Amino acid sequence: MPSNNAACGRTGSGVSVPRRAFLSDLGMGFTGLALGAMLHRDGWGREPEPADAAPDGRPHHPPRAKNVIWVFLSGGVSHLETFDPKPLLNQYAGKTYDETTLPNPQKLPIYRERSRSVVGFDREVISKIMPLQVGYQKRGQLGCEVSDWLPHLGGVVDDLCIVRSMYTTDNDHGAEFQFHTGRHFLDEQQPTIGSWIAYGLGSLNENLPQFVFLGQYKDPRVKKDFEAHYLGPQYAGVELSLDPANPLPFGSRPAGVRPGEQRNEFAFVNRLNRLTAVDYPEDEQLRARIKSYELAYRMQMSAPDVLDFSEETQATQQLYGIDNETTAIYGRRLLAARRLAERGVRFSLVYLSDYGEWDSHANIKELHARSCGRVDKPLAGLITDLKRRGLLDDTLVVCATEFGRTPALEVTSLNKAGTGRDHHPHGFTVWMAGGGLKRGVVHGATDEFGFHAIENPHYVTDIHATVLHQLGLSAERLSIPGRQRLEVDHGRVITEILG
């Protein structure tokens, strides 16, 4: 029978030493120094910091997750045709809200309380109910209703944490940026969630950025999704190309330039920048430029390796749908995100759409079916791949959109077809997975029309607070002197979904 000292270290004399003392003594050697540094960085074995202390790269409390893969679907995904189907829409199809036996959701006080728009269009004219455009099935042990457009995600639903009670306040596409910053487009813009994480925790890999953007876009407004605003440019997202031969639009070695020549060039420019920094010590742009040059040089060796998928098996690439033209682009982005997470990148924003792709004011049946077909297999492949590699335990995946779509069809002077749904910030769905969250759960609910978030309603910064909490950060303790953040900016941790 093992003794009570089995878990303790032992000296050569056979005298048992308590584990804590053993680790303390071990700290006299280099192994202990490394162990102590790692424990210190991860929030263990140190004294608590004052509430107003500036971030020093260490978490505020022991984290459950190390990094985040933040997937965004631009334009507004219909929660009704994905993860929150409402049979009542089929029953009352063609009727207005006033013609049903239920209260008109547009006449409830909550409608105005959560509405704030930058456009003068009155969306109350949209009240003729539109039936569901696709069937759905109960999936997994959870028995969660999932759209027939999402069979692969339905196959991993028991690994998902689905929040059906999200709301925001912007009825226009400023809601996209509101989801990343927490602030309405009419207000002062705030740093994005990725920038707050980079500011609070820093990098786990000095050869790669702490905040990466993976995606392509034609509309320059997308950059608002990974801007740092007043935190400073060093905390903004860094764009990566999926081309391993040219991964860095800003730092690739020009043709004909030898590695040694470029190394000398970087060293010379860096020396000039640092000489200038002596005269302008408060110049944030200059400090960011110095860091970007240094990082760009280091990344020239690291980034191509991350984006080189040749070492991935054919089965893995097929899992992400890289072998299929429909899913290849998005599959490559998500596989790159997994490889970045493996290498310590804190936050990867994966733009898994074109800008406004899901904005189906008309022809929602065709357009949403097409977009679901592009993302379904790659997203399910990411969850499956992370899980089988043991990465889902400390990698938190968030799949979000800016708002949902209206239960009613849109028929206006601008859109006479009557085949789509309008913007809907009052209730929509976000799903997450891994990172210490519960698996196979549905949290919150909208009403019987899918109109208002009524059960455990959550404003978008509640997602921010939950992600930060799992990373070991307290939203209230992330602040900048002279910048007053509102209570809504901090959000509330969704404790009900924590594992």
- pLDDT tens digits for range 387-401: 999 999 999 999 999
* Domain-located, residue 403: yes
DSSP letter string, 12-24 = TTS-EE-HHHHHH
Alpha helices in 138-279 (DSSP H): 151-155, 174-181, 193-201, 259-279
* Domain-located, residue 266: no
Tell whether 193 and 340 lie within a shared domain. yes
Judging by beta carbons within 10 Å of its beta carbon (0-12, 13-18, 19+), is residue 121 exposed, middle or buried?
A: middle
Give pLDDT, residue 28.
39
Grouping H, G, I as helix, E, B as strand and the rest as coil, residue 138 is strand
At residue 260 the predicted structure's pLDDT band, cuts being 50, 70 and 90, is low
We report the CATH number of the domain holding residue 85 as 3.40.720
Give pLDDT, residue 22.
41
Give pLDDT, residue 287.
63
Tell whether 339 and 397 lie within a shared domain. yes
Tell whether 13 and 95 lie within a shared domain. no
Give pLDDT, residue 492.
97
Tell whether 24 and 136 lie within a shared domain. no
Query: Which residues, in sequence order, are CB contacts of 52 under 8 Å at separation 6+?
Result: 477, 479
At residue 317 the predicted structure's pLDDT band, cuts being 50, 70 and 90, is very high
* Domain-located, residue 281: no
Tell whether 97 and 222 lie within a shared domain. yes
* Domain-located, residue 181: yes
Q: Tell me: the pLDDT tens digits for 45-61?
A: 444 444 455 677 889 99
Look at the chain and report how many structural domains it folds into.
2
Distance in angstroms (rounded) separating the CA atoms of residues 97 and 236? 44
At residue 288 the predicted structure's pLDDT band, cuts being 50, 70 and 90, is low
Tell whether 218 and 366 lie within a shared domain. yes
Tell whether 188 and 312 lie within a shared domain. yes
* Domain-located, residue 253: no
Range with the largest mean pLDDT of 9-18, 84-93, 258-267, 275-284: 84-93
Q: Tell me: the pLDDT tens digits for 136-168?
A: 999 999 899 999 999 999 999 999 999 999 999
Chain centre distance of CA 37: 28
Distance in angstroms (rounded) separating the CA atoms of residues 378 and 156? 12
* Domain-located, residue 258: no
* Domain-located, residue 285: no
Tell whether 105 and 211 lie within a shared domain. yes
Confirm if 78 and 405 have CB atoms less than 8 A apart: yes
Average pLDDT over residues 404-428: 90
At residue 283 the predicted structure's pLDDT band, cuts being 50, 70 and 90, is low
* Domain-located, residue 302: no
The interaxial angle of helices 193-201 and 460-470, nearest 10 deg, is 20
* Whether the predicted pLDDT of 416 surpasses 90: no
Tell whether 339 and 393 lie within a shared domain. yes
Tell whether 337 and 466 lie within a shared domain. yes
Tell whether 174 and 312 lie within a shared domain. yes
At residue 405 the predicted structure's pLDDT band, cuts being 50, 70 and 90, is very high
Q: 481 or 403, which is more confident?
A: 403
Q: Tell me: the pLDDT tens digits for 324-380?
A: 999 999 999 999 999 999 999 999 999 999 999 999 999 999 999 999 999 999 999
Tell whether 321 and 367 lie within a shared domain. yes
Range of the domain at 232: 67-242+307-497
pTM value is 0.82
Give pLDDT, residue 444.
98
